[in-house]
């Protein structure tokens, strides 16, 4: 994947990278945080059209940063459905950055 600058607004899921995170603006002015946990594979090939996303155990009155979400656990995860429009909503988000590499990923059991 090419080098990207953040905030990044992807035009498709092909430019969404593992660990990318985004703010989810709520009506009350708070921001939960979503994160790309993984990409699907089919017959050993990476499928960039589908990915696994997670909602972090994090909320704030300001959008997330790599530093503010460091150490957060994933509350829930799943593969967004193109039928529900989740993928199109996600691709309209402004991705704020990438998950800190040194931070251990903490996901719930499947």
What is the DSSP secondary-structure string of 4-43?
--SSB--SSGGG--TTEEEE---TTS-EEEEEEEEEEEET
pLDDT digits over 84-95, tens only?
Answer: 444 444 545 667
Query: 2 — phi, psi (to 5°)?
Result: -65, 155
CB 29 within 8 A of CB 38: no
Domain segments of the chain as ranges: 13-98
Q: What is the pTM of this model?
A: 0.73
pLDDT digits over 31-76, tens only?
Answer: 999 988 887 777 877 766 778 889 999 999 999 998 899 888 999 9
């Amino acid at each position: 994947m090419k080098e990207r600058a953040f905030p990044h607004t992807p035009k498709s899921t092909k430019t969404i990278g593992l660990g990318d995170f985004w703010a989810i603006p709520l009506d009350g002015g708070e921001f939960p945080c979503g994160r790309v946990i993984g990409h699907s594979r089919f017959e050993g090939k990476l499928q960039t059209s589908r990915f696994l996303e997670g909602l972090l155990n994090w909320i704030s009155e300001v959008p997330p940063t790599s530093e503010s979400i460091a150490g957060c656990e994933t509350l829930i995860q799943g593969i967004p459905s193109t039928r529900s429009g989740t993928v199109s909503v996600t691709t309209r988000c402004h991705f704020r950055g990438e998950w800190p590499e040194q931070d251990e990923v903490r996901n719930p059991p499947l």
